[in-house]
Amino acid sequence: MRVPSTVVVCGGTVFFFLYLLPWHSLPSMIVPMPSPASSVSSRPKEVVLNEEEEESERGLDEDSELAYQGEQPFTKSSPMKFKDPPLVPYRAILHSGLKFNASQSDMLVLLHIQKTGGTSFEKHIVQDLDIEEPCICWKRRKRCKCPRPNTNKLGTKSKESSEPWLFSRFATGWICGLHADWTELSSCVDYELDKAYGSQVKRRYFYMTMIRDPVHRFLSEFRHVQRGATWRASRHSCEGRLATAQELGSCYTGRSWAGVSLGEFLSCPQNMGFNRQTRMLADLSLVGCYNRSLMPEKERNRIILASAKLNLESMAFVGLTEYQRISQYVFEETFGVRFKSPFTQNEDTYSKSTLDKATAEELELVRQVNALDLELYSFGEQLLNSRFKELKGLDKDFDDHYNYLGEAKGRHFSWDEVEPDE
């Protein structure tokens, strides 16, 4: 039977347009989508939960895809896809023998989330590591030079070897933006280093971060904002563009939100402090960046929580502010280095004072608007404790190491001890 020419033409046209669709540009990463611990509304409010919702409110159950199941040994066939340039995860360091090499092209990248103790942690990195060629810091500028230890045959630094082995505020400045998040760093770091030092070598990136109890972190941020902090210089860049003023919104008029009360701080739907840790650790390109109109809020929350957990687990080092000694031990064993002084738990008097003065209703609102961060922190606790237990089991000298962290050449870090300005 002869097929009418009209049918042939129409069919061919359909297949032609299907061919033109950008299938090649569709994302290949699969992010698990469990039900989040709770759907976070833009404005805190009391809700009445049914039995099923009460179960969800308590957190992910043991069968959830994102409940912590322990890190699997890394092999060449592991289902983790790396970006180019490669990001080296903790399990690759432990199970495949990959070691950080400051003499070559490896780079430590610090993702510094506000009010998590990141500044104290970075001070230990730049001034306290017992390494061949430590950073040189200038206290009044609060900047450091962290050169790689290799030199060329003439004994002078080449352009490539003059680049630092640390990408952070003190070592490189905020060249990817003030408190750049995962979305910004993953698309910016390699570009900026190529621009500054050349692209003759392929770098390997070892990401690290500190996270903190969400209630204490949020209250510490509140007090910081109350004293006049704004972080207005943050770029909020995603997919090659900056977030618009309409997408970000604003909680105040004028130069700052100084003098804000806790109630006012909690009642602004556009408050960037809500679930800050989850947002800064997630790949925001998965949810249309800062455009909240593309999907329901519940779906958006589910995706960014899943992405934040995936990225947290892929980091070479994750420390918790509340677990300073364990964090120090895990860092030292992961990278095979030692710090000259122990990490200390500095009491945040501002957040403690606010915590003591806050009403039960206010604290409940703090938990509600940081529900994603609470779930992420629980995941981070299990992640850190799992790594600690694993490294402890491999350390034949665990007692001597853990009980005397930073005491062999013990001293307490202070900017007053570093070199004066040149």
Catalytic residue numbers read 179
Q: Which residue type, as a one-letter code, is found at position 352?
A: K
Q: Characterize the bridge pairing of strands 204-211 and 166-167.
A: unpaired
Say if residues 163 and 193 touch (Cβ distance below 8 Å). yes
- CA dist., res. 129 & res. 232, Å (int): 32
The pair of three-digit structure tokens given for residue 134, joined into one six-digit string: 């430590």
Q: Name the nearest CA neighbour of 382 among 64, 2, 152.
A: 64
DSSP letters of 203-257? -EEEEEEEE--HHHHHHHHHHHHHTT---TT---EETTEEPPHHHH--S-SSS--
Question: Which DSSP symbol is given to 109?
Answer: E
Angle between helices 360-369 and 371-394 (to 10 degrees): 70
The pair of three-digit structure tokens given for residue 220, joined into one six-digit string: 């510490």
Say if residues 242 and 235 touch (Cβ distance below 8 Å). yes
Q: Name the nearest CA neighbour of 348 among 122, 115, 112.
A: 115
- CA dist., res. 315 & res. 33, Å (int): 20
Q: Which residue type, as a one-letter code, is found at position 234?
A: S
- CA dist., res. 75 & res. 51, Å (int): 42
Say if residues 270 and 249 touch (Cβ distance below 8 Å). yes
Which residues partner with 317 through β-bridges? 208
Q: Which residue type, as a one-letter code, is found at position 2?
A: R
Q: What are the respective helix, strand and coil percentages of the chain, to the nearest 5?
A: 40, 10, 50
The HSE-up count of residue 235 (CA atoms within 13 Å, CB side) is 19
Q: Give backbone dihedrals phi and psi of 70, rounded to 5 degrees, phi first.
A: 90, 145
- CA dist., res. 111 & res. 103, Å (int): 22
Say if residues 334 and 316 touch (Cβ distance below 8 Å). yes
The HSE-up count of residue 258 (CA atoms within 13 Å, CB side) is 6
